[in-house]
Structure 1
Amino acid sequence: MSSLNPHHPQTALITGASSGIGYELTKLLARDRYNLVLVARSADKLQQMADAFTDKFGITVKTIVKDLSDPNSPQEIFAELQQETMTVDVLVNNAGFATYGFFEQTDLMKELSMMQVNMVALTHLTKLFIPQMIQNKQGKILNIASTAAFQPGPMMAVYYATKAYVLSFSEALANEVKESGVTVTALCPGPTESGFQKRANMEQSKLVKGRQIMDAKTVAKIGYRSMVEGKPVVIPGVRNKLLALSVRFLPRTMVIQVVRSMQE
């Protein structure tokens, strides 16, 4: 595990880097010659990525194998980078997962882990890395939220709530740092082709079954461009934008019922 090239001015840290949107964002950062800190649970996949990106783009890549459901992980990641005197210029909080089903029947420990990964680890990592960004008067944070952030979601009640937190937190933080040279962007994709649905055990949900949904590469490109431009919120896809915005004008009870019918 090698240190990043000290002569390269920009370093990006990506959580959940080994698959889906996180993997596609990592490829875009590598293409633009960012040195990388890749965080995920899969050591083999991370090492494969590190070898490939080093060979193809001439960058240096550090891999950190961590499970962000462990409350100690964010501090351990930060401490490891501090020990190597490495500065993070771009933070991509991508790691996240969902559970599917009625709340009374879903697994409590999975939901507590989900809250830890989707909200707490994201907040903790941001808290640790943003002071240096503000001090340097530059930095970018990309938090992966969801169109789920815009309304409650029966049958995925906790997941929808975690993404509402991510969106609210990101928008507030973007406002706080707007004069500092640091930007915060919330990427709010709709259903996306990735391993997300399989892990959530929701492959039979009408939300994804039989529908043409966006692929992770397209979502990542839109999110990456928006992060570079410093946009506070981005919703990829016209249909997703319309759905997210329409909830503002419909009765809340109707919105919730529509979401439930889509989830079933």
Structure 2
Amino acid sequence: MKTALITGASRGIGRALAAELARCGYHLLLAARSADQLEQVAAELRQRHGVEAHIYAADLAQPGAAAELAAWAREQTTELAVLVNNAGYGLWGRFEELPLAEQQNMLQLNMLLPTELTHALLPLLRQQPKAYILNVASTAAYQAVPTLTLYAASKAFLLSFSRGLRYELRDTNVSVTCLSPGSTTTDFADRAGMNAELQETANKVSMTPQQVAQAAVAALLTGVAEIIPGTLNKVSAKLTSFVPKALTERIAAGIYEKHLK
């Protein structure tokens, strides 16, 4: 039975990706920190789509979490066909003012977890007739974003990692896609510590998690290298290739920095 493992599956884009993959007939392995939220998602998708759904509740930012999750996944299935590296979050503020430990925790989740989990599960993915890896980055991957400096850098890492790995696996059964959503109606802003005014501005151009997930899974299953859902997001990301970096950084700072206390 073809199975998908999704990290950060309890809410937002991760939850929507789980629902979309279930709709496509994949059984689910759902991982996140909250057991209650995961079980709610799993029960809903079992009932709605008739798939199997198993949960793994743990703090995935802890060192060693990837190895433990990979071992659990191998116990659940020998037919892992999709790996979705979605777990992650942002921190808003000036680099020197944010606690270093919090920033290290974010980098562990945003960068090291998907790296380690992909390395651990690639042998299982390689055993399938066709397999897919989806790394969830952000439109922030395409430029530096002052006051979201390390978050943007971690997403740039994911984008580069995805493209490099995709090329390495070009002659295999495993396809790698990088998803870079823009503003989405999730709890990202709350988790990042953004104020209400900035959240309200972002919500004016936000997509829903369902819209993002539908575009992402369609791109994944057709083997697209990169997917940026939404016309405005695509245009914005493309413009960074033509506009001087100093200008894009000034524009980003004008959006985010002015709202800091």
TM-score class normalised by the smaller sequence: over 0.9
- Give the TM-score, by structure 1 length: 0.92
Q: Residue 104 of structure 2 corresponds to which residue in structure 1?
A: 112
Query: Counterparts of 1:183 and 1:76 in 2: how far apart (Å)?
Result: 24
Q: Structure 2 vs 1, CA of residues 226 and 208 (structure 1 numbering), >3 Å: closer, same or farther?
A: farther
2:95 is paired with a residue of what secondary structure? coil
Aligned mate of 1:50, from 42, 46, 49: 42
Query: Counterparts of 1:207 and 1:45 in 2: how far apart (Å)?
Result: 24
Aligned mate of 1:220, from 182, 200, 213: 213
> Is 2:211 aligned against 1:253?
no
Q: How much does 1:72 deviate?
A: 1.0
Query: Counterparts of 1:13 and 1:183 in 2: how far apart (Å)?
Result: 15
Query: Counterparts of 1:137 and 1:11 in 2: how far apart (Å)?
Result: 13
Moved more, 100-109 or 154-163: 100-109
Query: Counterparts of 1:23 and 1:37 in 2: how far apart (Å)?
Result: 12
Mapped contact 2:183–2:205 kept (Cα < 8 A): no
Mapped contact 2:3–2:77 kept (Cα < 8 A): no
Letter in 2 for 1:109: A
Mapped contact 1:153–1:256 kept (Cα < 8 A): yes
Letter in 1 for 2:241: R
In the TM superposition, 1:157-196 aligns within 5 A as 157-196=149-188
Letter in 2 for 1:215: T
Gaps of 5+ in 2: none
Query: Counterparts of 2:74 and 2:176 in 1: how far apart (Å)?
Result: 22
Query: Counterparts of 1:59 and 1:204 in 2: how far apart (Å)?
Result: 39
Q: Residue 237 of structure 1 corresponds to which residue in structure 2?
A: 230
Q: Residue 59 of structure 1 corresponds to which residue in structure 2?
A: 51
Mapped contact 2:4–2:26 kept (Cα < 8 A): yes
Q: Structure 2 vs 1, CA of residues 240 and 207 (structure 1 numbering), >3 Å: closer, same or farther?
A: farther
- Give the TM-score, by structure 2 length: 0.93
Calculate percent identity across the aligned residue pairs: 38
Deviations 1:78-111 (A, max 9, x none): 1123344533210011111000011111121111
1:230 is paired with a residue of what secondary structure? coil
Q: Residue 98 of structure 1 corresponds to which residue in structure 2?
A: 90
Deviations 1:93-140 (A, max 9, x none): 111100001111112111101100000001111111112222435210
Letter in 2 for 1:183: S
Q: How much does 1:52 deviate?
A: 2.1
Query: Counterparts of 1:69 and 1:85 in 2: how far apart (Å)?
Result: 24
Letter in 1 for 2:28: L
Computed over aligned residues only, the root mean square deviation of the Cα atoms, in angstroms, reads 1.5
Q: How much does 1:61 deviate?
A: 1.2
Letter in 2 for 1:56: R
Moved more, 111-120 or 246-255: 246-255
2:201 is paired with a residue of what secondary structure? coil
Query: Counterparts of 1:239 and 1:56 in 2: how far apart (Å)?
Result: 32
